Chains A and B, each alone.
Chain A
Amino acid sequence: MSVIALGAIPLQVFARATKAFEATKLDSVYRELFGDLPIVESSDIKLDIPDIAENGAVVPVTVATTIAGAEAIYVVIDMNPNPLSASFKLTQFSAADVSLRVKMGKSSMVRALVKTPSTIYMTGREVKVTIGGCGG
């Protein structure tokens, strides 16, 4: 359910994308979340994250986009044991602009993906972690 296009329907309850969160490989995450939808690089996604994270336990991330029809935002950390970190389901009443803090076990590509009904848009940044954060 959670990967079905929401449109303007204000769904109250979402089935959790458990398999995507439990996946250990990037391609499994993509398959669970997006099926066969194409993933293309986009410069219309703003991913704010430090180039060097001194403390991998607390890495601030902001994702914002101007892509029309954005339904959901995903934060993916390639080298974490479970790459999918967070997803945000948008509505017409929420701006496509979210911030959170994530844990990174080691240096990794961090990706922000934006889902539209037909296409997944992506941007990524390499983040160097000096002290890993998956020990807590």
Chain B
Amino acid sequence: MESRPVKMRGKVVNGVAEIKVLMEHPMETGTRRDEAGAVIPAHFIEQVTCEHNGNVVLTAEWGTSVSKNPYFAFKVNQAKAGDTIKVSWTDNLGESSEGSLALK
């Protein structure tokens, strides 16, 4: 299944970029059961990488208790209009997606 691209919004305030990110992902815990009583396998984003003009500025590791369709916000120092922010994720099944944003 093709993963949906990461949605991002951002603005620069006094040289700091405030980035808001939405990811489409089921974030299954592996403890839920379907209607037939079968365990729904764990399926969750494990790693998130945030880049500023190609340099990694922040990484995150997540467990199964991050909410479905994760919302995530972070801030990048020394940012200005025209800079590129990229966010990518990989999950426990090896799926991945990314999105990027040119700051205004």
Contacts and interface: CB of A to CB of B under 8 A. Distances in A.
Nearest to A135: B32
Nearest to A105: B65
A118 interface: no
B67 A57 contact: yes
A100 B72 contact: yes
B76 A86 contact: no
A95 B31 contact: no
A80 interface: yes
Given A10-B56, A94-B57, A94-B77, A21 B72 contact: no
A38 to B, nearest CB: 23
B41 interface: no
Given A134-B29, A136-B32, A85 B62 contact: yes
Interface in A75-90: 77, 80-82, 84-90
B18 to A, nearest CB: 9
A67 interface: no
Nearest to B61: A87
Interface in A1-51: 2, 10-12, 14, 16-17, 21
Interface string B50-82: 101001111111111111101111111110000
Among A92, A100, A103, A134, which residue has the most Cβ atoms of chain B within 10 A? A100
B98 interface: no
A102 interface: yes
B74 to A, nearest CB: 5
Contacts of A104: 65
Nearest to A73: B60
8 contacts: A21-B61, A86-B62, A88-B74, A93-B52, A99-B73, A103-B64, A134-B65, A136-B68
Interface of B: 16, 27-29, 31-32, 46-47, 50, 52, 55-68, 70-78
